[in-house]
Amino acid sequence: MSVSIDAVYRAESRRVLATLIRLLGDFDRAEEALHDAFAAAVEQWPRDGVPANPRAWLVSAGRFKAIDNLRRRARFDASLALLADQLDAGDEAEVWDGEAVEDDRLRLIFTCCHPALPADAQVPLTLREVCDLKTEEIAHAFLATPSTIAQRIVRAKAKIRDARIPYQVPALNELPERLDSVLRVIYLVFNEGYSASSGETLTRTDLSREAIRLGRLLLELLPEPEVMGLLALMLLHESRRAARASADGELVLLEDQDRSRWDRELIAEGSALVERALTSRRFGPYTLQAAIVAVHAEAEDAAATDWVQIVGLYDVLARVTPSPVVELNRAVAVAMRDGPEAGLALVERLFARGELLDYHLAHAARADFCRRLGCNAEARESYRRALALARQEPERRFLERRLQQLGE
């Protein structure tokens, strides 16, 4: 039974939390109610069995536990008694309204991305509260320390409470200004699921699927070109999931993947969204990235990849959203078009500027260029640096194999 409760926690806890925040109007109160609900489940489910709808059971249990806690504390604060009465008077049909529940996580994302919150806190807060990512995982994604991320999350929650930031999806006229942060959140959630920042496995399917679900919801709510572009990007990446790892969980590079295992339905859907977004001429970085992935998807094999077109798309992307990571990805594409020496020069230029020195994929790219050029000593040095920085076990094993191939 404990295994079943663990499985329900992994599958439903964030959805339950989002609904409890809507019902209770407070992050901390909802988190306490979530813990109380699962504590009740641990006590009752082994005796009574897992309910037919665990999520509904947990939401109801958490709500009633919160009401009880408020009434106990009302001895010290009379306003809590009034709040408890208001919560208790809620219509049960309204509490478990299917449409409202379906939108709760999207509503929570917009709350976490409210413009009143500091920009550097919006995404970490959403990743923590919506997706239950650990502080360490978020810190790795942001190249920050866990203590820094934890402080940002605590301050953001306090700001939501003290400023009484509304827990709602913004009106249509407010959506565009709030959209950039929301898109960034959803994509970071997807990335953590598609290529886990740390741990034993290459991917976390639950997170990438949830990001795609949120992307579909957002597209239904706001059919803007960049929403199409983001959803297309996630679908096209997701289409390759089955081929990204071997049967024993080892990393398989894009050039070595069995393309017959790519999901052609996801590729067709993603490619159609890319075309729609590009036709609008109001697209941005997500659409451009999706267009790059679509070029890969169109190639029958690695040798048929149109690297000229990919480099051209990276040139546009670098102008729209200049960043060291975009430059690194462009360097990889240039190396495929013009040879490893050209790619190495671009990476060396990044390092000379002091950029991406702590990014393991930059050192892995440099190592690969050196390996292909026959500069084995330099390749080993860069592989060792990449290995020291990598935190995901399949990536670490891949780097170790490369070092072994080079005689170390």
Model confidence over 81-125: pLDDT tens digits? 555 555 555 555 454 444 455 578 888 888 998 888 998 898 889
Separation CA 110–CA 125 (nearest Å): 11
pLDDT beyond 70 at 219: yes
The whole-number average pLDDT for the span 363-375 is 97
Range of the domain at 60: 1-96
What's the pLDDT at 200?
58
Q: Is residue 26 part of a domain?
A: yes
The CATH number that applies at residue 351 is 1.25.40.10
Joined together, the tokens standing for residue 165 give 């930031």
What's the pLDDT at 108?
87
The type of residue at 363 is H
Q: Is residue 204 part of a domain?
A: no
For 22-43, b where at least 16 C-beta lie within 10 A, e where not — what string?
bbbbbbebbbbbbebbbebbee
Q: What angle do CA 347, 352, 354 make, to 5 degrees?
A: 100
44, 60 contact by CB (below 8 A): no
Q: Where are the alpha helices (DSSP H) in 25-145?
A: 27-48, 54-73, 78-88, 92-95, 98-112, 119-129, 135-142
Separation CA 23–CA 1 (nearest Å): 29
pTM as predicted: 0.74
The whole-number average pLDDT for the span 162-177 is 81
**C-alpha pair distances (Å), 404 with each of 148, 374, 384, 397, 399:** 37, 15, 11, 10, 9
For 100-124, b where at least 16 C-beta lie within 10 A, e where not — what string?
ebebbbbbbbbbbbbeebeeebbbb
Q: Domain count of the chain?
A: 2
392, 398 contact by CB (below 8 A): no
Q: Is residue 133 part of a domain?
A: no
By 3-state DSSP, what share of the chain in percent is helix, strand and coil, each rounded to 5?
Answer: 75, 0, 25
Q: Is residue 5 part of a domain?
A: yes
The whole-number average pLDDT for the span 287-293 is 98
382, 402 contact by CB (below 8 A): no
What's the pLDDT at 93?
47
Most confident of 76-80, 97-101, 197-201, 269-273: 269-273
Question: Given the structure tokens 């663990």, which residue do they identify?
Answer: 6
Q: Is residue 249 part of a domain?
A: no
The better pLDDT of the pair 118, 133 is held by 118
What's the pLDDT at 76?
56
Separation CA 362–CA 358 (nearest Å): 8
Contacts of 233 (CB under 8 A, 6+ apart): 187, 270, 286, 287, 289, 290, 293
Q: Is residue 123 part of a domain?
A: no
Q: Which of 96, 114, 143 is the last residue of a domain?
A: 96
What's the pLDDT at 137?
80
110, 178 contact by CB (below 8 A): yes
Q: Is residue 161 part of a domain?
A: no
- 22-55: pLDDT as tens digits: 888 888 888 999 999 999 999 999 989 889 889 9
Q: Where are the alpha helices (DSSP H) in 195-284?
A: 205-221, 225-238, 264-280
pLDDT beyond 80 at 408: no
Q: Is residue 3 part of a domain?
A: yes
Q: Which of 96, 128, 158 is the last residue of a domain?
A: 96
Q: Which of 40, 64, 96 is the last residue of a domain?
A: 96
Run of H or E residues at 254: none
Contacts of 320 (CB under 8 A, 6+ apart): 284, 285, 288
